[in-house]
């Protein structure tokens, strides 16, 4: 049975993951209308992954005798000044998600909830990968700058960068 404090903290994380999914969906749309199909697909995939992260929490809470609460979400940014700006936002957002997960892990230790602590280790590992991927992409796009040819190649090659991340897609 989940302690109320843990249930509330996990429910807050549901909102964080759901908002992440919406943020990346909005980025996918912007990339798609700007004609960068590779980037758009990458963002659609990221959005789907975040939804999986959310669902994993939903199921865990409900299975442990809690009640997963689905709440209203903040509207994401729908336009961006540049692709660099967009990927900077993705990177910064993943750092925030990691902080949120770390905070959650901290609460489970305070509450001596080792089952939830164990469950969250998957998220800890996932955040290491997501942060690394966001940093790699950000470094590349910053190198390209405003070079149109570079952006064309980046759009074509970004699928390769997703191989690592899709390998970590939750399988339940």
The minimum distance between CB 136 and ligand FEO, in angstroms, equals 14
- Give the nearer residue to ligand FEO in terms of CB position, either 144 or 168: 168
State the helix-helix crossing angle for 114-144 and 83-110, rounded to 10 degrees. Answer: 160
- Rule CB under 6 A: say whether 19 interacts with ligand FEO: no
Number of other residues whose CB lies within 10 A of the CB of residue 37: 14
Q: What share of residues in the chain are helix, strand, coil (percent, to 5)? A: 80, 0, 20
- Give the nearer residue to ligand FEO in terms of CB position, either 7 or 130: 130
R_g (Cα) of the chain, nearest Å: 17
Please tell me the count of residues contacting ligand FEO according to CB under 6 A. 7
- Rule CB under 6 A: say whether 97 interacts with ligand FEO: yes
Q: What is the DSSP letter of 34?
A: T
- Rule CB under 6 A: say whether 113 interacts with ligand FEO: no
CB contact at 8 A, 25 and 140: no
- Rule CB under 6 A: say whether 50 interacts with ligand FEO: yes
| Binding footprint of ligand FEO on the chain (CB under 6 A) | 17, 20, 50, 53, 94, 97, 130
């Amino acid at each position: 049975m989940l302690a109320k404090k843990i249930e509330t903290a996990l429910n807050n994380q549901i909102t964080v993951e759901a908002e992440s999914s919406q943020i990346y969906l909005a980025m996918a749309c912007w990339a798609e209308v700007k004609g960068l199909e590779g980037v758009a697909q990458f963002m659609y995939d990221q959005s789907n992954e975040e939804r999986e992260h959310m669902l994993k929490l939903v199921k865990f809470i409900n299975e442990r005798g809690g009640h997963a609460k689905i709440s209203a979400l903040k509207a994401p940014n729908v336009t961006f000044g540049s692709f660099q700006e967009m990927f900077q936002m993705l990177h910064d957002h993943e750092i925030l998600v990691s902080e949120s997960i770390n905070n959650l892990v901290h609460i489970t230790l305070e509450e001596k909830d080792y089952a939830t602590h164990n469950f969250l280790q998957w998220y800890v590992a996932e955040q290491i990968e997501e942060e690394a991927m966001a940093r790699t992409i950000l470094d590349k796009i910053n190198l390209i700058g405003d070079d149109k040819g570079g952006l064309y190649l980046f759009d074509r090659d970004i699928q390769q960068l997703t191989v690592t991340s899709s390998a970590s897609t939750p399988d339940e």
